Every structure is written in structure tokens, then in C-alpha cells.
A and B are shown apart, each in its own frame.
Chain A
């Protein structure tokens, strides 16, 4: 389908919005279940005699599990589209099926991991299982919906040569890759170790000693997502949204030629410069941990 520039940009911004929501929800979903890299601490804690009430969703790395739920959603959507169901209904049902399947995998990994650490006496809390799994499914549903809608737009409106499940899978993997590089840090380095001093990386000797008490009562995974929704989740959303918009914007506006590709590289250089500015700013703002004589500063 050939679109004029205004419509192309409208479609592109819709894709950007979908990706932003998907990215944010992807990260929050992984935080609810303590997936991916921060999971290592949840896994380690019982060994250090730090028993906890946190979900242990060790499905796999985020790209794998999100690609998985997105591709299942994609194929169910294709099946429904094939039997002439409206696109939006197909996508919604497809996303629900994908999310439910992910939910099943989540329960087995929580139960499996806990029952494989019998010697550390970690109990399997069924109330955590019952109210966290639906939260995971709900977050994942929104992500699937956005990603399959994104894939549908690329396939049906923009005429991409790949099929809907293929595009959904790739965007699921990309969402997971961005989510585990951006949002996980906020959960792993800050929320899990909130009782250690702010502004320091995790001292290796503190590994596994995660925070187990909440603002009130014992901390559970819902408390974690409440915290991460304030920064880690939205940051991931912006990361994925930027990826989708910026990787398509040059070709949409300039056309499919070398100029567009060079503009794309220019954007990359610009981002590198912004990164450098951030680096210089925080070095100046925080200062070194040691002064020049190698002495630890009082605060650190």
C-alpha cells in the first residue's frame, strides 16, 4: 500500500506509541516475576539463608520469553484473521492466548526452582503464586497486544515481506533485549538492594542479601513493580519506542536510499554524544569514590 507522507508519519508515530507501551509493560512484567538477570539474586538469596516471599520466574532471559509469548500471540492472530475475524478482535484474543501460555510457563518455573532448592528450606508460598501469576499475565497481555498490533501494521499496511508471527517474534526479542538492558538495572541494582547506600554499585560481598521487608509487612513482587513503574519501566518504553521510530523515520521521510541510511548513522552518533554528556555530568556531579591519594572518602 502506498501512503502519502502525512499518513506514513501518522502510522510511524502509532507504531512508536505501541512500541513504547510494549517496552514499558515488558519491563514491568519481568520485574513482577523477578525474571532475567535480577533473578540470579532471588535464586541466590535462600543459599545465603535469606528466605523470601518473591516470585521466581525463571522462564529464560527476557528476549526468549517475550519472543515466545509474542510469537504465540502472532500465530493465533493469524489463525483468526484467516477465518475472517476482525483484526482488532484477532489481535486481542491472540494476545490473551500468548499471555496465558506465558502464565503457565511462569508457574512451572516458580514451582520448579523452589522445589529444586529444598536443602535451603525455602517454602513455596501458594498465595504469591495465586496473586502474582495473574499480574504477570495481565502485563504480558498488554505487551503482546501492542507488539502484534505493531507487526500487523508493518505487515498489512506497510507491506513488510515477513509474516506477522515473524515480525512479532523479532519485536518480542527486541523488547526483551531493551528491557533487560535498561529496566532490569533499576530493579536489580536499586530495588533489590534498597537498604544499601544509594550511589554505589553492589558490593560483591552483599550478593544474595536482598531486601525482604516492605514499607509495611514482607516484600513481595507486587511491591517491586510499584517501585520500578516509576523509572525503570518508562525508561525501557522510551528505549524501545526510540528504536522503532528512529529505525524507520529516516526511510519514511527521506526514502529508501543512501541519504536515509546516512541520516540513521547520524542519529547513532548523536546518541553517542548524549551518552558522553551524561557520563561527564554524573562524573562531575558525584565525584570520585576515592580522592587522589587513594583514600576512601568519608561518605563512601
Chain B
């Protein structure tokens, strides 16, 4: 599966980290950019899950998405809070903390629980890091800021953080889970990742109208447009890859 990948892992990591962080830093001026950066992080996370979960986890694919965001939420809040008077460092500290947290979890999963997945350690690190970018990215798109005080005040009291936590997990676990099978292709999975990320962005936009007013509507509209484009692209791939797409019909004859 990994041999026919279109986007190489290292390239994807660099793109995701750069666009994720720059989106977050631009969020006070244009919140929608933070959400777009988070969508790139979703693609990264989905690709990392794709690489790890292809080995079989023993339980469902969804668990790893939840693990990622569970680690991500604790690490991200720590990162944003600990920097105190230098909020500019917050998102970077959050990302680094999440990566270290993921690395430790990966080491334990591989060497103590003995899961025997060769890419477990790097995969877990990437997934946790992507989780942190997703939380801070979508969070600052909704709050209009990445400074801890504003961030917490805006997204915790109304419960937006729960939407980020859960939809973020869904958007990284769904692409691979939904295309699981022997003929899974990276292109189709990643198109789906953009599409699920865009759905999340749309809902974050709706939620952001409570806090940011019209800026939230902009986020929502961009989210819908992105979703339409990539949902269509995903379906194009489905039409191309499926054995046959039929309007209706009987079950074809097989040997059984």
C-alpha cells in the first residue's frame, strides 16, 4: 500500500506543520486561515493513521483517532498555558509537547505492550502532533485568538471545544476507516480527509458566529466550498476505482 503513495511522508509533515502553524498565527486577523491550516493537519493525521492502522490494531481504527485527540487536548492546553507572558510561543510549545507525549505513548505501545507495528513510534508521534495542530487550529479559528485566556474563555464555556475534540477525531479517523479494504488508495483517502476536514471547518464556522460574528460566516462559507470541491473529487475517485457503479440491478453471478 505504502509503495504507491502520491505524497511522501516527510513532505506532508513539513507542509502540515508550516501551514498549520502559520494559519494559527494569522488567526487574529483572518480566523478562516487557521481552519484551513487545520485541514492540512487533518490530511497529515489521516495519512499517519493510514500508515499505522494498515498493520491492524487489534481493535477498531477509530480508537487511534480518539487517542490522538485525547493526548492532543491535554498537551495543547498545557502548551498554550505554560508560556504565560509570551503567547507567541504557545502553539509551538503545544506542538512539541504533543509530539513528545505521542513519542512516549508510541514507545510504550511498541516496547511494553508489544504491538509489533514497525511504524508505531513515529506514527504515534505524528498523530499526536497532528492532533495538537487540529485542536489549536480549529480552536483559534473559533476563538479568533491563540492566547490562552481568550482561547479558554471562548471555546470552553460554550462547549465548542467538545466539537473540536470529537469532530477533529472523526475527521482524522474517518478517511482511513471509511476506505478500509484491500484496494484502498492514498489519493482517495486523502481527498476524503480534506472533505471531512472541510465539514469540520463548516461546523466550526457556525459555532464561531457566536463569538466572532461575520468572521464565522466567512469560515463557514469557505468550509462549504472546500467540502463541495473535495466531496466531488472523492466521488470521481470512487467512480474510477469501484468494480462497477450501477443504478440498480441483481447481484452478479460469482463462483460461490
Closest residue of chain A to B166 (Cβ to Cβ) is A71
> Any chain B CB within 8 A of the CB of A134?
no
Q: How far is the CA of A218 from the CA of B250 in the complex (A)?
A: 8
Kindly identify, within residues 16 to 60 of chain A, every residue whose CB is under 8 Å from any CB belonging to chain B: 43, 48-53, 58-60
Closest residue of chain A to B170 (Cβ to Cβ) is A68
- A71 contacts B162, CB within 8 Å? yes
Give which listed residue, B160, B189, B196, B246, contacts A123 with CB less than 8 A.
B246
- B254 contacts A127, CB within 8 Å? no
Kindly identify, within residues 93 to 115 of chain A, every residue whose CB is under 8 Å from any CB belonging to chain B: 97, 101, 104-105, 108-109, 111-115
Give which listed residue, B159, B177, B244, B250, contacts A58 with CB less than 8 A.
B177
Kindly identify, within residues 181 to 204 of chain B, every residue whose CB is under 8 Å from any CB belonging to chain A: 181-185, 188-189, 192, 195-196, 199, 203
Give which listed residue, A105, A115, A165, contacts B160 with CB less than 8 A.
A165
* Residues of chain B with a CB closer than 8 A to A121's CB: 243-244, 252, 254
Segment with Cβ contacts to A, from B24-32, B59-67, B129-137: B59-67
Q: How far is the CA of A119 from the CA of B242 in the complex (A)?
A: 9
* Residues of chain A with a CB closer than 8 A to B238's CB: 111-112, 114-115, 124
User: Which residue, of A53, A64, A68, A82, has the highest number of chain B Cβ atoms within 10 A?
Assistant: A64
Q: How far is the CA of A60 from the CA of B181 in the complex (A)?
A: 14
* Residues of chain A with a CB closer than 8 A to B179's CB: 112-113, 115-116
> Any chain B CB within 8 A of the CB of A163?
yes
Known A115-B237, A116-B183: A105·B196 in contact at CB below 8 Å = yes
Interface of A, secondary structure class, is helix
Total A residues in contact with B, Cβ cutoff 8 Å: 54
* Residues of chain B with a CB closer than 8 A to A163's CB: 157-159, 162
Segment with Cβ contacts to B, from A72-80, A252-260, A269-277: A72-80
* Residues of chain B with a CB closer than 8 A to A124's CB: 238, 242-246
- B163 contacts A71, CB within 8 Å? yes
> Any chain B CB within 8 A of the CB of A227?
no
* Residues of chain B with a CB closer than 8 A to A166's CB: 159, 162
- A64 contacts B254, CB within 8 Å? no
Distance in angstroms from B209 CB to nearest chain A CB is 6
> Any chain B CB within 8 A of the CB of A164?
yes
Distance in angstroms from A98 CB to nearest chain B CB is 9
Give which listed residue, A64, A114, A127, A169, contacts B162 with CB less than 8 A.
A169
* Residues of chain B with a CB closer than 8 A to A108's CB: 174, 178, 192, 195-196, 231, 234
Q: How far is the CA of A64 from the CA of B199 in the complex (A)?
A: 16
Distance in angstroms from A72 CB to nearest chain B CB is 6
Distance in angstroms from A144 CB to nearest chain B CB is 14
Closest residue of chain A to B183 (Cβ to Cβ) is A118
* Residues of chain A with a CB closer than 8 A to B251's CB: 51-53, 212, 218
- A169 contacts B174, CB within 8 Å? no
> Any chain B CB within 8 A of the CB of A61?
yes
> Any chain B CB within 8 A of the CB of A122?
yes
* Residues of chain A with a CB closer than 8 A to B249's CB: 123, 125
- A122 contacts B243, CB within 8 Å? yes
* Residues of chain B with a CB closer than 8 A to A218's CB: 250-251
Kindly identify, within residues 116 to 166 of chain A, every residue whose CB is under 8 Å from any CB belonging to chain B: 116-127, 162-166
Distance in angstroms from A100 CB to nearest chain B CB is 10
Interface string of B96-120 (1 = CB under 8 A from A): 0000000000000000000000000
Known A109-B174, A112-B178: A79·B183 in contact at CB below 8 Å = no
Closest residue of chain A to B216 (Cβ to Cβ) is A79
Known A68-B170, A71-B163: A125·B62 in contact at CB below 8 Å = no
- A59 contacts B242, CB within 8 Å? no
User: Which residue, of B167, B181, B231, B251, has the highest number of chain A Cβ atoms within 10 A?
Assistant: B181
> Any chain B CB within 8 A of the CB of A233?
no
* Residues of chain A with a CB closer than 8 A to B162's CB: 71, 74-75, 163, 165-166, 169
Distance in angstroms from A105 CB to nearest chain B CB is 6
Interface string of B147-184 (1 = CB under 8 A from A): 00000000001111011001101100110011111111
> Any chain A CB within 8 A of the CB of B55?
no
Q: How far is the CA of A109 from the CA of B189 in the complex (A)?
A: 11
Q: How far is the CA of A112 from the CA of B180 in the complex (A)?
A: 8
- B243 contacts A118, CB within 8 Å? yes
- B166 contacts A68, CB within 8 Å? yes
- A75 contacts B207, CB within 8 Å? yes
Closest residue of chain A to B235 (Cβ to Cβ) is A111
Distance in angstroms from A41 CB to nearest chain B CB is 15
* Residues of chain A with a CB closer than 8 A to B159's CB: 74-75, 78, 162-166
Further 14 A-B residue pairs, CB within 8 A, beyond A75-B206, A163-B157, A163-B159: A49-B255, A51-B251, A59-B177, A60-B60, A60-B61, A64-B170, A71-B167, A72-B167, A78-B158, A104-B199, A115-B241, A116-B183, A127-B248, A164-B159
* Chain B residues near A (Cβ < 8 Å): 60-62, 66, 157-160, 162-163, 166-167, 169-170, 173-174, 177-185, 188-189, 192, 195-196, 199, 203, 206-207, 209-210, 231, 234-235, 237-238, 241-252, 254-256
Top 5 A-B residue pairs of the complex, sorted by shortest distance between their CB atoms: A116-B181, A163-B159, A165-B159, A49-B256, A109-B178
